[in-house]
Structure 1
Amino acid sequence: MKRVVVTGLGTINPLGIDVPTFWKNSLAGKSATGTITRFDASKFRTQIAAEIKEFDPQIYLDRNEIKRSDLFTQYALYSASQALEDSGLDLAAMDPFDIGVIWGVGQGGMETFEKEVEGYVKGNYIPRFSPFFIPRLIVNMASGMISMKFGLQGINFTAVSACATSNTAIMDAFNYIRLGKAKVFVTGGSEAPITPASVGGFSAMKAMSSRNDDPLTASRPFDKERDGFVMGEGAGALILEEYEHAKKRGAKIYAEIAGASMTSDAYNITSPHPEGLGSTKAMQLALKEAKLDVSKLDYLNLHATSTPLGDIAELKAVDKTFNGSKNLWVSATKSMTGHLLGAAGAIEAILAIKSINDHIITPTVNIENLDPEIPKNIQIVVNEPLEKKVKTAMSNAFGFGGHNSTVVFREA
C-alpha cells in the first residue's frame, strides 16, 4: 500500500476565512455563536447560530460560479482554492486524470431549495423554476465545480454520511491513493445550513441549544448544563497526496494519514448507542490500521456536539478504547465553531493536523461544571490551550443514522 500525506489546507468557517486566522482564534478559545442575522428566527425555539460574517463571494469567485452555485458550493470552491495554493502543486505539469475530488456534503443546497419553492408557492415565477435550481441544489455539485474550476479529471464524487461526511470523504481519498488510483485528491467538506428550514427542523427536534440570551456560551460540550448543539457553517479542504509524489516535488508535508475506519451503530436514527459500541470499534480499527498502541495517541479531537446523550456516549467509547491512557488529551472544537454538520470533520481534522505541527492543543470552552457522568480517566483540555508534544492525533466524526468515522494522523 502507498503512503498518503497531507500537503495543503484551506478553510472558511465562523472562526476565520483562512487557516491561520482559524488556528489563531481557536487557540484563543473564541466563541463564534451569536443571534441569527441571516433571517428572522424569532419564531423558533433556537434563534442562535455560528455564522460566517466576512465572506463576500464576489471578491473570491467569478460571476458564473456564483450564479450557478449554492452557498455550500461557494464555500467549497473557496476553501479548495486555498488548499491547492497552499500545496504548491503545479497542476499544469500534472496529468489531470491523476488528480481527483472527493467532497463531503450533508444537506446540500437548502437555501436554493427554500427560495425556489417559496417563489413558486407565492406565484413569483409560475410555472418556471430557475434552470439553475437543480444544479445549485444537488450535493455533488461542490465536487463537480471544484473539478471544473481547476481542470481535475480524476475520480470525482460526493460522500454523504450526515455529520460523519467529511471524515468519510477523507477516508475514501486516502484509500484510493493507497490503491494507486490517483496521486492527489482535493477532499474535505462544506455546508451552508443556516436557513429557516434547516434551523427550524433541528429546532423542532430539540436537538439544538436554546440558550438564546447567552449565545457565546451556548455550545458547551461536557458541561452539566448543555442543552444541544449550535448550528455552524463553512468548509474545510485538505490536499492528500501520495508520499513519493510529494517527496519528489519537495512538497511541504503537514502530516501523514496513518489509519481510518468507519462503523455503524445500527441502533437509532438520531441517538448514538448509549455505550458507544460503534464509535469504540471505529477508533479501535483506525488505531489498528495505524499500527498505533492506545498509549501512543497524543490527542483526540472529539465529535462532541454538546448534546446530552452524544457527549457521554462518545466519552464512554474513548474510555473503553484508551483504557485510561495518561498520554491522551481530548478537546471539542464545536464549543467554538458550532456544528458544521457535513463540514465539521474537515475543519476538525485541520486542527488535529495543526496540533501536530505546532505542538499545542486547542481548548474546549464554555465548561463551567463538568458532567459527573464523564468517565474520570478522560483528560479534557478546558478553556485554555495545552502545550504538548503531539506526534499522533485522531479526529472523530459521527452522524445521524449511526455513522461513525475516525481518521488518525501522525507526524510525517
Structure 2
Amino acid sequence: MSAGIRHLPDQLVNQIAAGEVIERPSSALKELIENALDAGAQQVSIELSEGGLAGLSVSDNGQGMSRDELPLAVQRHATSKLPSDDLFDIRFFGFRGEALPSIGSVSVLRLTSRQPAADHSWALTVSHGKSGEPEPAAGEPGTRVEITDLFASVPARLKFLKTRKTEAAQCYDVVRRFAMSRPDVSFLLTDTGRTVLHLPQQDQSDAGFARRLSEILGPVFARESVPIAAEKPGMSLSGYAGLPTMNRPTTTQIYLFVNGRPVRDRQLLGAVRAGYQDMLPRGRHPVIVLFLTIETDAVDVNVHPAKAEVRFRDAGSVRGLFVGALSSALRAAGMQATGEGGEAALRQFSSSPTAGSGRPYTSSYPAHSPSQHSLTAAQAFQSP
C-alpha cells in the first residue's frame, strides 16, 4: 500500500522542474542567454569548461539586479517579465521564473550582479537547492552567472550526458541561434580557454544582419542562398533559404525563429520540407534561416517546458506562408548547381512528383515577390 498523500519538499520540486527544463549543459546555457538578452544586454560572454561538462558561465552588461532582487531571482515563479496575467502577450524569452531555481537545484550556482548606479556588485550562491545570503562582491555593471557541479546531486542524469564533443556542439549551436536572432548584440564564446566564436555587435540594418549570418554560416551560404520575403495578414516571413544543392544529412542547420525566439518545432520543420517539395534528395535537409513574425495572441509559446515548440491559432495559414514563399523563391532561383552539389546533385532532382507521393503540395497563398527591402539585404549578404 502506498504512503499517504503529502507535499513534496521544495528542493525535490525544483529538481523535478529542472528535469523538464535542464536536460544538459546546453539547456542551462540557453536559459542564461535568454536572461541576459531579456535584461537588455548588448554584450554577452560565454565561458565553457570542458564543453560545459565541468562548468559554464554567462556574463552580460544588462541592467543588473539589486541586493534585494537576488534572493527573488532564485525562487520559483518570481519574475519581472510577465507584467500582466496574459500568457498570450509574452514579449520576453523567459517568463515562468523557473530557470535559475531549477539550475540551482541541480548544481552550484553563483549569481553576481550590479546595477549601473550601484557602488559594487552583490553575489549569492545556491548549492544544490540551498541558498545563501547576498554578500558584497567585485564586478562590472551587469550580471554574471556561474554554474559548476551540474547534476552532481542527480547522478542518474549524469549518465545520460554524452561526450565532451557532443555536449560542446550542443552549446555552440545554442549560441549561434541566439546570435542569428540578435545581430545587435556581441557574443564571445570560449571553451576551456579557446575562442570558439567572436561575433562583434552589428548595426540594426539589412547589411548588419547579412554580416552576422555570413560570420556564422560562412561565405558559401552567402553565395548559394535566396532571400525569402512574404507576408499574410497578421504574419510575415523573412530570411534566406539555401539552394537545394546545398544540403545536409541532418536538420541541424535548419534555423527557425518565431518572434525572434529560436524554436525546433515539428510543424515548421514539416512546412520547410513541403516548401522544398521534390527538390531535395531523399534523406537530405536544407540549410535555411527563417524568421516568422506573428501577432503574439496568434501563437502560444507556453506548450513546451523548454519553450522549444509553439502552437499556432491558425497552423494552416502559417504552413501556407512557409510553403508558398519557399517554393516560389527556390523555383524562381532556377535551382542553380553549387560548388557543394554540382550537376550530380541536380540530376537527383525532378520537376515532377516522385512516385507514390501524389500531387505535390500547392499553397492557396501566392507568395509575394521579395520586397526592395529584402533585395537590398540579399545584395549585401551575397556580395563578396
Q: TM-score, normalised by structure 2?
A: 0.26
Query: Which one has a larger percent strand, Structure 1 or Structure 2?
Result: 2
Larger radius of gyration: 2
Q: TM-score, normalised by structure 1?
A: 0.24
